[in-house]
Structure 1
Amino acid sequence: MTQASRRVGLVLERASHVLGEEAYYHEFLEGLERVLAPAGVSVLVQVVTDRAAEIATYERWSAQARVDGVVLVDLGPDDERVGLVARLGLPAVVLGDPSTAQGLPTVWTDDAGFAREAVDFLAGLGHRVAGHVTGPPAFAHTQLRRGGLQAEAAERGMTLLVAEGDYSYDGGRAAALELLETRGVRPTAIVFDNDVMALGGLDAAAACGLRVPADLSVVAWDDSPQCQLAMPALSAMSHDVERIGELAARAVLATMAGAPVEVYQAPPAHIVVRSSTQAPAS
């Protein structure tokens, strides 16, 4: 490939409707391209529905010399994709926790630490029973968030109830209904692992006859325009996602140039407080 035709590949294992609803990767790509484009590098994105298709994509890209490097996302512990890209000779950067990277360069967001901050915020409002609607449980960042929430809740003597979601609106609604209707004790606050599921949670609260925030506080992971436009506007754990994309671009350029392995620390997240959270009713 010539310098002008260099490409970085990104494979997203998502149902198309989920990816269309989710703002995170749109913002991430904006940051990625902001750095890569001036360097003469384009981004090749492939959306697949399962792991086998993702692995086949990397193998095809390598065999056809379609990309000069890849960004790996949504890794789990001992993830097979790390060894795969090494065998294929594809320079790679991991977006996630360094524990999943197995020696690859990493752009790290402290999911466990930020999850503890979310519980700290809710505890400060006086909540004693909280819910967590997770993303897919195989993802390391899902496990880290859940662990952070559980650890902080235990330290504060809070009860944490967990239900599994899939990042979709319908998945968030169903998981919220599970927490609100089937657990015997009802949470007074729920943290959702993305903004879209939190919107589904607002619908679930209304279906149960609950008012947000008077009866139920709602916190979204990942701030977005959807959080700001929701009724009520959603409090959110806000990340500078475009900045994370820029860091990933710098990391993959460095890796493609043969630079030493490095961990790139993403900017810290913080709670943006809006109308969906308040102290629980006494």
Structure 2
Amino acid sequence: MSNGAGRVTIAGLADRLGLSKASVSYALNGLPGVSDETRERVLALAEQLGWHPSSSARALSRARSDTIGIVLRRDPGLLGAEPYYMSLLAGVESELSETGQSLLLRMVGADTGQEVAAYRRWSAEARVDGVMLFDLTFDDPRPALLDELGLAYVLHGNRETLAPGKVLLYDARSDAGLLVEHLASLGHRRALHIAGPAEFEHEQDRRDAVDAWGRENGMEFSFATSDYSMEAGERIAAELVRDDPSITAVLTSNDLLALGAQTALTHGGRDDVAIVGWDDSLLCRLGTRPITALDRYPEEQGRRSTRLLLDQLAGRTAFDRRARASRLVPRATSIPARSEARTASR
């Protein structure tokens, strides 16, 4: 019934039940070839004895690794400073824990070549059943590569055409509308959008949407690109906003940029500038002036994208392929524009 270490084995179960090892394996893995009565006997004894299949045996029996992979182009030392990804990964792990599957996470910095190499190695070694993609770039090589390798995948994006049936869809236009209309309602007419790297498709989508909503609401936006770091937000705000009284609001593409901008403006005595961020997190809620931000429910995004991938692997049709709609959370940085600034912009 067990090996020398006391672990329950298929052979031990077969001996105890008077069945062949093949019949026990079929019953445990839900395969045809045994009667319902035999399957019930096997499962009942397995549960009674606390039997669990090893990951290697389960992978061999089903030609699956029961693992999904994520490669993030982020500095490993900085991941803990990015609440969005920490929350998203928590959602992924939460969903996988319910199915008994695992997550294989790699961080490769900004090197696209290392990411591609990781997918090729995982495919060759059958390490993962599928992967999740983030931060698509223009002419991104990854979807075509994964199709070539035969690896299942889902990606986060704003357009279904990126990979039909495999996209967890966001609504960049609606998100931008929540932010821009909020600033417009406070009387702001000239603002700065501190965006992420221009190579990312979602950043161009955001920029286009912010610009369109700005024109609809009588607002003029200047744009600056960044690397999503607090240091970049501080530097850009110091250079472009601190000494320019015509800019009365800053919109940032994540919470770290918002915190950096707030630091620069506080040091420069610009307590009249409104700040809104695209990503809400604990960072936005702390301090003497909590920051207005867009709650995009990253943990729920992680759960939904994981379900989408698992449905794909199981051959099921996924009917819910949209991220949860975002919610604006106004806080202390929702500062109305000065009356003279409103008059000057007319």
Fold similarity call, TM over 0.5: yes
Report Cα offsets for 1:242-264 as digits up to 9, x if no partner.
11111011001011113347661
CA distance in 1, matches of 2:247, 2:160: 32
Q: How big is the shift at 1:23?
A: 0.3
Structure 1 runs not aligned, ≥5 long: none
Give CA-to-partner distance per residue, 1:32-74, whole Å, 9 cap, x none: 1111122121011100111111111111111111100000111
Q: AA paired with 2:212?
A: A
Match of 2:247, SS state, is coil
Q: Which has the higher contact order (CA 8 A, sep 6+)?
A: 1
In structure 2, what is the equivalent of residue 92 of structure 1?
A: 153
Which residue, out of 26, 31, 54, partners 2:91?
Answer: 31
Partner amino acid, structure 2, of 1:116: G
Residue 130 of structure 1 contacts residue 160 of structure 1 at CA under 8 Å; is this kept in 2? yes
Residue segments in structure 2 that go unaligned for 5+ positions in a row = 1-55, 340-346
Q: Which has the higher strand share?
A: 1
What TM-score, normalized to structure 2?
0.76
Is 1:199 aligned with 2:259?
Answer: yes
Distance 1:273 1:204, change over 3 A: same
Identity score, percent: 37
Aligned residue identity for 2:335: Q
| Amino acid across the alignment from 1:94 | L
Pairing partner for 1:75 from 126, 136, 149: 136
How far is 1:16 from its partner? 3.0
CA–CA distance in 2 between the matches of 1:18 and 1:113?
29
Deviation of the 1:277 alpha carbon: 1.3
User: 1:122-181 CA distances to partner (integer Å, 9 max, x unpaired)?
Assistant: 001100001100011111111111111000111122110111111111111122223215
Deviations 1:87-115 (A, max 9, x none): 01100001122356232511111122211
Aligned length in residues: 278
Map 1:41-56 to 2 at 5 A.
41-49=101-109, 50-56=111-117
Q: Deviation of residue 18 (structure 1)?
A: 3.6
Please state how far the C-alpha of 1:186 moved relative to its aligned partner.
Answer: 3.6
CA distance, structure 1, for counterparts of residue 127 and residue 326 of structure 2: 35
Name the structure 2 match of 1:153: 214
**Pairing partner for 1:163 from 224, 235, 248:** 224
What is residue 192 of structure 2 aligned with on the other side? Answer: 131
Give, in whole Å, the separation in 1 of the partners of 2:128 and 2:227.
29
In the alignment, what sits opposite 1:247?
Answer: 304
TM-score (structure 1 length as normaliser) = 0.93
Q: Distance in 2 between matches of 1:243 and 1:261?
A: 16
What secondary structure, in the 3-state scheme, does the structure 2 residue paired with 1:232 have? coil
CA RMSD of aligned residues (A): 1.8
Match of 2:332 among 254, 275, 282: 275
